[in-house]
């Protein structure tokens, strides 16, 4: 799974409309969030660093909720945008998730296990478990 990194407002107009998950690496305004959603109608989640998430307005949060878009708190550690505009989550993580699910492990236990084994944010892990 790929997460598209958006590091500036200028990139919003160049986004592929089929993208589904974004990490916003700048402090987005309401207009930036609305622009992303309008440009990419299939968006399922926006990940924002915790310091930026606290500044998102209640109206933007309500808009995202009404659109069925999750606002995820977290960062993409160790990613260099100058090398690749996407952060990729390994297939191995999804293979383990499916195996544990087959073994009957509850979602909460899977989330806790993935938190310990990966560098992904707890919100992103919960999103992935819920949507896969």
> How does pLDDT run across 18-44, given as a tens digit for each residue?
999 999 989 999 999 999 999 999 999
pLDDT number for residue 86: 87
pLDDT number for residue 1: 87
Q: Cα separation of 62 and 130, whole Å?
A: 20
Provide long-range contacts, Cβ within 8 A and 24+ apart, for 27-33: 27/52, 27/55, 28/52, 28/56, 30/57, 30/59, 30/60, 30/63, 33/60, 33/63, 33/64
Please state the pTM of the whole predicted model: 0.85
Q: Which one, of 36, 8, 34, lies nearest residue 21 by Cα?
A: 36
> How does pLDDT run across 41-86, given as a tens digit for each residue?
999 999 999 888 888 999 999 999 999 999 999 887 655 565 678 8
> How does pLDDT run across 101-121, given as a tens digit for each residue?
999 999 999 999 998 888 788
Any idea where the domains of the chain sit in the sequence?
1-88, 90-132
Q: Does domain 1-88 have CATH number 2.30.38?
A: no
Q: Which one, of 121, 129, 127, lies nearest residue 45 by Cα?
A: 127
């Amino acid at each position: 799974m790929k997460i598209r990194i958006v590091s500036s407002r200028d990139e919003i107009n160049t986004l592929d409309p089929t993208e589904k998950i974004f990490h916003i690496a700048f402090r987005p305004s309401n207009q930036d969030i609305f622009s992303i959603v309008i440009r990419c109608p299939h968006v399922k989640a926006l990940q924002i660093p915790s310091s930026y998430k606290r500044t998102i307005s209640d109206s933007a949060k309500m808009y995202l909720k009404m659109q069925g878009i999750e606002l995820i708190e977290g960062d993409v550690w160790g990613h260099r945008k100058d090398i690749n505009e996407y952060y990729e989550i390994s297939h191995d993580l999804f293979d383990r998730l499916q195996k544990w699910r087959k073994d009957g492990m509850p979602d909460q236990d899977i989330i806790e296990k993935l938190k310990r084994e990966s560098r992904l944010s707890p919100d992103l892990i919960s999103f992935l478990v819920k949507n896969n």
